[in-house]
Chain A
Amino acid sequence: MIFSNLAGRLQETLRKLRGKGKLTEIDVDEALREVKLALLEADVNFRVVRSFINRVRERAIGKEVTSSLTPGQMVVKIVHQELTALMGAKEEKIRVAPQPPTVVLLVGLQGSGKTTTTAKLGRYLKMQGRRPMLAAADIYRPAAVRQLQILGEKLELPVYFSEGKDPVAIAREAVAAVKKQNCDYLLVDTAGRLHVNEELMEELRAIKEAVRPEEILLVVDAMTGQDAVNVARSFHEKLALTGLVLTKLESDTRGGAALSIREVTGCPIKLVGTGEKLEDLEVFYPDRLASRILGMGDVLTLIEKAEAAVEKDQARDLFHKIQDDRLTLEDFLEQMRQLRKSGLLQQALSFLPGVNPKHLRGMQVSEEDFKHLEAIIQSMTPEERRNPSIINASRRKRIARGSGRSIQEVNRLLNQFEQSKKLMKQLARMGKGGFPMKFPFP
C-alpha cells in the first residue's frame, strides 16, 4: 500500500526541511501536500480538507521557527492545533435540563449503533448516580425493541415501550412514565433512517416537538466516508443537533468523518464508542482524534519531546538504553502503557518508518492481550524485569502461576521482548542524529 506510511513520508518531508529559520511558501506547501493526503486518506471530506489546508497555510507562512523546531515540524504543530481547535478545544458533557427529566434523543442512519449507544449512555449516567430510563421508539427494525429491552434488563434500567403505538406516541408517553418512575433522564432510541427519507425525517421532527429534548445526538459510524457531510447536514437542518456520538472507534479507521461532520454542523463530539461491551463508552478528547486522523501520533510525540526538555531527557535516556541494549521489561511495559493511553497502540505500530505493515499482522494487541502482558510482567521480580536472561524454567513456572497465564505465554512474551529489542535497536540506528523517538511494541 502506497499510503500506509503517510507519517513516515511526512517525517521524510520534515527531515528535508530541517535547519531553516523561517517558513517559506515552498516549505509550507510541500509539508501541506502530505497533510492533505493524510486527511483525505483518513476520510475527511474533500471540501473540508481544502478549506482547512487554506486556513493552515495562511497561518503558517512566514512564521518564525522556534529554535527547537524545524519548519516542517512547525507546520505539523499548527495543523494539529487547528485540528484540535476545529474539533472543540475541550471535552463536552451531556447537558442537564433545568427541570428534570433531561430528555436525550438519539438519531442516525441504519447500523450506526444507536441502540447500543442508548444502552451504553444509560449505563454511563447510572454510574454517575443518575436514574436514566430508556425508551424504545424503533418500531420498524425487527426485534429492535427486544434488543433494547434485553440491554435494559442487563443494566437494570427501566425500558419504556408501548405495543401498537407509533414512535411519537411512545416518546410522549415515555416522558410521562419517566416522571412517575422518579427517573431524571430519558434516553429515546429511534429507528435508523436515511437522511433523504422525508417521511421518516418528518417523524423525527414530530418526536422532537413532542418531547422537547435537551440533547439531540447524531450517532455516527467512525468508518463513514465522504458522504458523512451530506448525512450530517440533513440531520442538522431538520433537527438542529446538539452533539455527536462517534461509534466503532475501536476499528482501525482514522475517523476523519468526525472532522467533516464537526465542520458542517458545528456540533461538538460528546462521546465515543470504543467496544462492544456496555462499558465501552468514553468522553471524547479532541486532541486524541486529531492525532489519529493525521496518523502521526509518533510525529507529534516527537515534536512534544523536542519542546519539553524534561521529557526530552527521559526520551533520550530511553533512546540510549535501546542503543546500548539496556532496555528492560519495565521500560517495555511503560512504553506500552503510554501508547495504550494515547489510544494509538495499533496505529503507532503501522507507522513506524521501515516497518512493513504486513509483518505486523498477527501481532495485533487487544485490550485483553495487554492485560495479560501486564500481569505477566508484574509477576516478575524487579531483578527479572531488569535482566530477563536470568529467567530460567523454574522462574518461568512461578511467573506463570503468579500471573494466572500459561508458561507458553510467558515464553512468548520473553521472545517478543527479545525481538522487539532487536527491532528497536535497528530503528534507533536508522534514526541516528534525529530526535529520540517513542518506540512502540511490535
Chain B
Amino acid sequence: MLAKLKNSLARTRQRLVHQLEEALSLHSRISPELYDELEEILITTDVGLETSGRVLEELKARVKESREERPEMVREFLKEILVDLLSLPVPPAIDRPPLAILVVGVNGVGKTTSIAKLAAYYKAKGCSCLLVAADTFRAAAGEQLAAWGERLGVEIVRSREGSDPGAVVFDGLAAANARRIDVVIIDTAGRLHTKANLMAELEKVYRVCTRNLGDRNLLTLLVLDAGTGQNGLNQARVFQETVGVDGIILAKLDGTARGGIVLAVADQLRLPVVWVGTGEQPDDLRLFDAREFVTALFDET
C-alpha cells in the first residue's frame, strides 16, 4: 500500500524534489531569494498564496530560532511545518453500528468511485455494507453505483431517476437497520457549492441522516479532486457550513496533480484529510498519514 502511494506520488515527487534540490543547491546560504523559490514551489502545488505565505513565515521563524545557516536544513524545517499543518484530529470511531458515511462534493471529483473503494475497504475488514444511491439527478448515476455494488458483492438501495434523494436515504437507513448493516455509504449527486437550491437539498439529506442516526453515527466526507485549484477552499467552506464536513477524501492523486489544496484546507478550515484515492481499482484507497504524505512529497527514493 505504501509502495502504491509512493508510486503514485513519484511523478509529483520527482519534479518537486528536482525543483527543491535545485533551489537548495543554487544557494550557498539561506537568502530571501531562496524563500522566494520555496514559495514558488508551494504555489505550483496549489497550496495558494495565503497558506504559502503563512508556511514561509513559520519557516523563517524556525530558521531564525535555530540559527541554522545551511540551506539543506530548510527542507527538514519545511517538512516539519507541513506535517504539523496536516496533523489534525480525524473523527473518532463510533461505539455501535450502523455507521453512515455521507459522501459529498462537486461534480466529477470522484465520489462514486471513492464510495466503491470505501465499500471494498469495509468489506475487507469484515463489515457488512450497504450502498445508497442518492444521486437521483445525473443520468445513469444509480446504475453506475449498482455496477460497482455488483462487482464488489455489496447490496444497494436505489430509486428512480428524479426521485427525492431524502426519501432514498430514509429507505436506505431503514433497510440498514432492518438488515443489521455495519456501514451504510451514501452517494449524493455532485453539486456545485454555488447552487443554493442544490445545497438546500443536500442539507435535507443530511437532516434525514442525523434524525435517524444521531450526529455521532454519521460521518460526512467531502471528496476533493487533487487537481483542484484555489476553488477547493470555497468548496470545502460551503460544504462544511451546510453539512458539517468531518473530513476530506483526496481523490485522483495518481496523476501529476499535487493536491496541495488540502494544505490550504487544513490551514484555513481545520479539516483533516482522512482518505487518499490513487487509482481506479477498488483497493486504490488508503488512510491518510500526514508524515507519509509529506515524506512522499519531498523525499528522494
Binding site for B on A (CB under 8 A): 1-3, 37, 40-43, 45-46, 109-113, 140-144, 146-147, 150-151, 154, 194-196, 221, 223-228, 230-231, 248, 250-254, 256-257, 276, 346, 361, 364, 366, 368-369
Smallest CB-CB separation from B261: which chain A residue? A225
When the two chains form the complex, which single residue of B139, B141, B229, B260 contacts A223, counting CB atoms closer than 8 Å? Answer: B229
CB < 8 Å: which of B44, B106, B144, B252 contacts A142? B144
Residue of A nearest to B112 (CB): A142
Give the distance in Å from the alpha carbon of A146 to the alpha carbon of B40 in the complex: 44
Q: Is the CB of B43 within 8 A of A366?
A: no
Question: Are A251 and B229 closer than 8 Å at their CB atoms?
Answer: no
Bound complex: CA A40 to CA B192 (Å): 22
Across the two chains, which residue of chain A brings its CB closest to B108?
Answer: A111
Which residue from chain B places its CB closest to the CB of A119 in the assembled complex?
B139
B301 within 8 A of A: no
B140 near A150 (CB under 8 angstroms)?
A: yes
Q: Check if B138 sits within 8 Å of A253, measured CB to CB.
A: no
| 14 examples of A-B residue contacts, CB within 8 angstroms | A1-B50, A2-B49, A43-B229, A109-B252, A144-B140, A146-B140, A147-B138, A150-B140, A195-B255, A225-B227, A227-B256, A248-B107, A252-B234, A366-B195
> Which residue, A41, A42, A113, A250, has most C-beta atoms of chain B within 10 A?
A41
A250 touches B230 (CB 8 A): no
Least distance between B223 CB and chain A CB atoms (Å): 10
Least CB distance from A194 to B in Å reads: 5
Q: Is the CB of A41 within 8 A of B257?
A: no
Chain B residues with CB under 8 Å of A196's CB are 11, 255-256
Cα A23 to Cα B109 with chains together (Å): 45
Bound-state CA distance A228–B257 (Å) is 8
Interface contact A46-B107, CB-CB below 8 Å: no
Contacts of B40 in A (CB 8 A): 46
When C-beta atoms are compared, the residue in chain A nearest to B107 turns out to be A248
Query: Does B48 touch A at the CB level, under 8 Å?
Result: yes
- Tell me the nearest residue of chain A to B254, going by C-beta: A194
| Contact of B270 with A by CB under 8 A | no
A111 and B110 contact, CB distance less than 8 A: yes
In the bound complex, do residue A225 and residue B46 qualify as a contact, i.e. CB atoms below 8 Å apart? yes
Classify the interface of chain B: helix, strand, loop or mixed. Answer: loop
Contact, CB under 8 Å: B50 / A3 = yes
In the assembled complex, B231 has its CB within 8 A of some CB on chain A = yes
Contact between A41 and B147, CB atoms less than 8 A apart:
no
Chain B residues within 8 Å of A226, by CB: 43-46, 229, 258, 260
Q: How far is the CA of A144 from the CA of B45 in the complex (A)?
A: 31
List the A side residues contacting B234 at CB < 8 Å: 251-253
B interface residues, Cβ below 8 angstroms from A: 11, 40, 43-46, 48-50, 106-110, 137-141, 143-144, 146-148, 151, 161, 192-197, 225, 227-232, 234-235, 241, 252, 254-258, 260-261, 268, 280
The reply to whether B196 and A364 form a contact with Cβ atoms under 8 Å apart is: yes
Is the Cβ of B230 less than 8 Å from the Cβ of A110? no
Residues of A within 8 A of B193 (CB): 251-252
A256 contact set on B, CB distance < 8 A: 229
CA gap between A224 and B46 in the complex, in Å = 10
Contact B255–A227 (Cβ < 8 Å) = yes
Known: A37-B49, A40-B49. 4 other contacts (CB 8 A): A43-B231, A221-B227, A226-B45, A251-B106
The answer on a CB contact under 8 Å between B138 and A227 is no
Give every chain A residue within 8 A of B44 (Cβ-Cβ).
45-46, 226
Identify which of B195, B258, B260 gathers the most chain A CB atoms within 10 Å of its CB.
B195
Closest B residue to A366 using CB positions? B196
Evaluate contact between A224 and B229: CB separation under 8 angstroms.
yes
| Cα of A43 to Cα of B46 in the assembled complex, Å | 8
Chain B residues positioned under 8 Å from A195 (CB to CB): 255-256
When the two chains form their complex, are residues A151 and B258 in contact, meaning their CB atoms are under 8 A apart?
A: no
Q: Kindly report which residue of chain A lies nearest to residue B142, judged by CB atoms.
A: A143
Cβ-defined contact, B230 with A43, below 8 A: yes
Q: How far is the CB of A16 from chain B (nearest CB, A)?
A: 21
Q: Identify B230's interface contact among A142, A151, A225, A368, CB under 8 A.
A: A225
- B117 CB to nearest A CB, Å: 13
Please give, as numbers and ranges, the residues of chain A lying within 8 Å of B280 by CB-CB distance.
110, 140
> Chain A residue with minimal CB distance to B105?
A111
Once the chains bind, are A250 and B227 in contact (CB under 8 Å)? no
- Docked-complex contact B258 and A113, CB < 8 angstroms: no
Q: How far is the CA of A154 from the CA of B140 in the complex (A)?
A: 13
When distances are taken between beta carbons in the complex, the residues of chain B under 8 Å from A231 are: 227, 255-256
